[in-house]
């Protein structure tokens, strides 16, 4: 009799130290509003929780030029600072990112995303949502081969211990994932410069425009679940996870 596959192990609720150095929840959209007024409209709606704002360098580039450049088309032009998170806003999108503090947890992101969307809905700013995205960046102060279930063979020989950057596009359920892994990466911190492995997973997905306001937050919940499963069950080495004091 063939053996039944073993059930997947439970996912940790926390690891210590937390490896997350940035997390982003992003909404890209089409709008009928003039590109120059979008950040101001958003600020007027969210200033209670994001009272401080500053202009970013991309704001100096004319929108007509930015719109033709894929790397800048959705780039924010203004950042608004809140207590735990920052709201980055451009003419065609916005995202919530970490402030100067440590990762506050998914519940904080989820609550703030729901609040921001509730403030923006009356403005009728978002005509058609184009892409929703959930992105996590994790840094480990160890070599890549110690942390992740990744290898790179050239001529049948592993080169995973060399300085490298690898990008792969994967599909997980209804999500398109861009996974980028950098070995010998450098991280600037209050404790100085650290060298290690940087893992960046950007998970994109879409929504029916007619159901955007009702389904957006639940779709982010689903993406978070898929990304968490991918992180713990596919990318992180079980032996390395055991050293991170996982809590269940």
Q: Give the pLDDT of the chain (248 residues) as one tens digit per residue.
A: 455 555 577 899 999 999 999 999 999 999 999 888 999 999 999 999 999 999 998 888 888 888 888 888 999 999 999 999 999 999 999 999 997 778 999 999 999 999 999 999 999 999 999 999 999 999 999 999 999 999 988 899 998 888 999 999 999 988 999 999 999 999 887 778 899 999 999 999 999 999 999 999 999 999 999 999 999 999 999 999 999 999 99
Element containing residue 229 per DSSP (H, E)? helix 212-229
Same domain as 47, residue 20 = no
pLDDT one-digit tens code per residue, 139-161 = 999 999 999 999 988 899 998 88
Among 105, 125, 145, which residue terminates a domain? 125
pTM for this entry = 0.91
Q: Is residue 2 part of a domain?
A: no
- Give the domain range for residue 213: 16-26+135-248
Residue with tokens 């580039």: 61
Per-residue burial over 75-91, b if 16 or more Cβ lie within 10 Å, else e, is bbbbbbbbebbbbbbbb
Same domain as 141, residue 245 = yes
**Count of domains forming the chain:** 2
Q: Is residue 130 part of a domain?
A: no
Same domain as 143, residue 108 = no
Per-residue burial over 108-145, b if 16 or more Cβ lie within 10 Å, else e, is ebbebbeebeebbeeeebbeebbebbbbbbbbbeeebb
Among 79, 95, 125, which residue terminates a domain? 125
Same domain as 140, residue 90 = no
Sheet-wide strand order for 128-140? 52-55, 78-81, 85-90, 93-98, 20-30, 128-140, 192-205, 175-189, 165-172
Q: What CA–CA distances, in Å, run from 123 to 32, 66, 126?
A: 11, 24, 8
Among 125, 153, 171, which residue terminates a domain? 125
Same domain as 248, residue 143 = yes
56 vs 66: CA distance, rounded Å: 13
Same domain as 119, residue 210 = no
């Amino acid at each position: 009799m063939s053996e039944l596959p073993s059930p997947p192990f439970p996912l940790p609720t926390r690891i210590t130290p937390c490896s997350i150095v940035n997390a982003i929840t992003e909404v890209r959209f089409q709008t009928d509003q003039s590109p120059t007024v979008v950040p101001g409209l958003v600020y007027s709606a969210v200033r209670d929780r994001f009272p401080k704002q500053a202009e970013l360098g991309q704001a100096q580039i004319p929108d007509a030029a930015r719109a033709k450049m894929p790397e800048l088309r959705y780039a924010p032009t203004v950042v608004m600072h809140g207590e735990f998170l920052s709201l980055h806003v451009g003419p065609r999108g916005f995202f919530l990112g970490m402030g100067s503090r440590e990762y506050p947890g998914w519940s904080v992101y989820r609550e703030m995303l729901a609040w921001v969307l509730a403030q923006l809905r009356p403005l009728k700013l978002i005509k058609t949502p184009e892409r929703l995205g959930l992105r996590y960046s994790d840094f480990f102060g160890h070599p890549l081969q110690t942390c992740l279930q990744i290898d790179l063979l050239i001529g049948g020989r592993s080169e995973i211990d060399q300085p490298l950057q690898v990008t792969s596009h994967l599909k997980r359920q209804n999500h398109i994932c861009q996974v980028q892994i950098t070995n010998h990466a450098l991280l600037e911190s209050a404790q100085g410069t650290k060298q290690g492995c940087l893992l960046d997973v950007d998970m994109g997905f879409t929504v029916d425009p007619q159901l955007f306001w009702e389904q957006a937050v639940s779709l982010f919940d689903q993406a978070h679940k898929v990304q968490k499963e991918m992180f713990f069950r596919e990318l992180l080495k079980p032996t390395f996870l055991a050293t991170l004091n996982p809590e269940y």
